[in-house]
Every structure is written in C-alpha cells, then in structure tokens.
Amino acid sequence: MAGSFVRPSLTIKLSVDRFDFDIGYLEGPSYFDEPVFRVLIHELTHFWQTVSMNFLVKAALSEWRQLIDYETSGNTQSQNRFEDKLEQRDKTSGLKPNDLLEAHALYWDVSILGVFNVKNWRNINRSMVDVGDRKIQRSPSSPITSQSGGSFDEVMLSDSFYSDPYRMLHNRTDSFFAALTFPIVVYFAFQTDDPVIAYTEAVKTIRPLVDGIYGSPDLEKRQEVYFLAIQSHVMRAAETKGLSFTEPRAVLTDLLNETNQSQINPLLLHYAAKMHTLEEQAKQYGADLNRYFALCGNVQYRKELMGGGPMPPLVQFADGEWPLQAMINQFMRTGAYDETENDELATIAKDIGRRWSSYRIAAFVAN
C-alpha cells in the first residue's frame, strides 16, 4: 500500500518521500499523472469521513480508551470495541460498514481523478510508488478526457472489493440518480450506530423518492431539491429500523463540553475546535456544512475543506512528518496559516502513532 489513514493519530501516511506541489493541484489533481495523488485523495476522503461521521468519531474514542487502558494496566483484551463494528458483516445484505466507507472513498477517487486515471492506477496503488524528491508537474501527456455515465458506472461497478454498496443503489434507482446521491446516503447513514442497516433500508425504500425528484418542476435548483429530500429519507429509514439518528458532527463537537478533557485524544479535541469554528462561520453565512462533508470531493467544497484552511489533515511522509497545511502555505505564499501549530500537531500525532503501534503489537502478540 502506498498510503493509509491512521485513525488514532488522524494522520495520512504516504509511503513516499515528500513531494512538491505545482500550481493547480487543488483545482485539478487529475491533470497530474502521478499515482501518489490518487492515494492522497483517497486517504483524504477517509480523513473527512472521520471528522464528520459520528460513527467514526465513536470508533476513534473507543480506540483511545483502549490505548490508555493498555498503557495504565497492560490490558490488551478490551471489550466493546466500537471499531470492531466496522468489520461486522450484516447477514441480510452481506455488507459491513467498512465496505460503505471504501465505496464512498472510491466514488470520490473516480469523481475527482477521473475514470481513466483510476482504472490505470488500480494496480499501481497497491504497491510502493516512489516519486522521490522531484517536483510534481503536470504531465504533458495526461489526457483531459470527459467521462460518460457509462464509463463512470463501469469503474464504480467493477471494483473487486467495494462495488457492492454502489450496485445496490444503482439497481434500485438508475445510473444518473445513483451518481448524484450515493455519497449523501452514505454520509447520513454514518450518523447512526448501524450504518449498514440505515443504508440498506434507505436504498430499499428509495424508489418513490426518485420519482418525486424527477417529477419536481424545480429542476434549476436540483441540488436544493434532492439533498434535503435524501437527508430526511435516510433519517426516516433509520428511525423505522429503531436506530437513533444523531445530528451530524455532534459527537465530535460535544467533546468540547466534556469536563475531563485530559481523557480525550488531543487530536480529536483539536479537530473538534476546528469544527466548532467552521460551524460558527457556516451559521454566519447561512451555509449547510452537511453539504460540504457529504459532498467533500465536489470541486467547490473540497477546496474549502482543504485549501481554505479550516482543517487540512496531517500528512506524514516516509522521510518524516510534513503537515499538509505547511505545504499549502508554501504553495500559496500567504501568512494566513499558522505553521507552528502544525509542527506541534505533527509532534503529537507522531507520538500517538508510535504509542498506537506498540499497543497493536502487544495486542497481536497476546491474543
């Protein structure tokens, strides 16, 4: 693997030496014919998922409790591990929550990088990719190809591991509707404690909604129409299955009200504060943050989430840590970001990453 997202340290790890940006990267990563971009985009989606989906914040909190428990008592046999639910397969649908997350990340890989690149890189991304220290520049040969619904479907439906969730929605609706709404359904399903049940129930009962949306006369404002409709549809589906639906991002921002904050992963607290600021700004401008996170790969929203400064992720390269924000800094030549803060964060993330690996090794040896 050329990269991974490590939840306890909220860090994207790339198995390459650091690389430099060329202008235009944020606007169009697909123009840069480098496999490492696919990995970065993919892991970036996992970061956005983690800070915006209540289910994943609960998993991160559970992992932190285990780590502290291990460090204070040597215990490696934790009970009620929330993150184990990610790998639990639902008997009826055959899906596990992790399949949904990966399908969601694949959706953004394909949407952002394009069908052509994802197809070409499919095999490359499972091995090491070394770009060395050179500056990545737009490849003159990289094609700017338009993609059709057919080619989008082909790549979304042919992944050997993660096509099942998308296929389910595609079969119940149609090519266009599935492409429009898949990330929204997944995003809201992950605000419950059983995303697979919420997702499959929402998909099973979606047909009348599809007809209603297609029949809507308000086509100019199509996103306004379908986004809120999908949101309430998933909420209702969760409720009919007896699941409680939590306000998106509430679990993360509620951490700021905890009395004993020393018991919480400091990186989660950091992003909780960032999220709080973002929520306040959004209120001021009347923006709907659910759109930003549900459609995190959308060109407008991803620029806000990544380049706008609210919360770029920590990125650790093979030769040490290198926070993405500092890189963006360098690239944008603006003083709007605080590089010192990122150095401190990188130090904390490195420490947590190291402690987490020791715990995982101890747990593996003991069990």
Binding interface with Zn ion (CB under 5 A): 102, 105
Rounded to whole angstroms, the Cα distance separating 8 from 45 reads: 16
Least distance (Å) between residue 280 CB and Zn ion: 31
Supply the minimum distance, in Å, between the C-beta of residue 335 and Zn ion: 34
Beta carbon nearer to Zn ion, 50 or 325: 50
Give dist(CA 183, CA 108) in Å, integer: 9
Residue whose CB is nearest to Zn ion in the complex, by number: 105
Judged by CB, which is closer to Zn ion: 87, or 338? 87
Minimum distance of Zn ion from residue 319's CB (angstroms): 23
Q: Which is nearer to Zn ion, 40 or 243 (CB)?
A: 40
Taking the least distance from each CB to Zn ion, the nearer of 161 and 176 is 161
Report the distance separating Cα 272 and Cα 286, nearest Å: 20
Rounded Cα distance between 5 and 175, Å, is 30
User: Rounded distance, CA 285 to CA 296, Å?
Assistant: 18
DSSP secondary-structure letter at 8?
A: T
**Shorter beta-carbon distance to Zn ion: residue 50 or 191:** 50
Q: In whole angstroms, give the CA distance from residue 182 to residue 169.
A: 7
- Euclidean distance between CA atoms 127 and 15, whole angstroms: 10
Shortest reach from residue 39's CB to Zn ion, in Å: 9
How far apart CA 103 and CA 186 sit, in angstroms, is: 9
Residue 11 or 173 having the CB closest to Zn ion: 11
CB of 105 to Zn ion, least distance (A): 5
Shortest separation between residue 87's beta carbon and Zn ion, angstroms: 13
Report the distance separating Cα 138 and Cα 28, nearest Å: 10
Q: Between 84 and 211, name the residue whose CB sits nearer to Zn ion.
A: 84
* Least distance (Å) between residue 342 CB and Zn ion: 24
Return the amino acid letter for 143: P
Alpha-helical segments (H) within 243-311: 250-254, 266-285, 289-294, 299-302
Residue 17 tokens read as: 């030496």
Going by C-alpha positions, the residue among 85, 43, 56, 318 that lies closest to residue 187 is 56
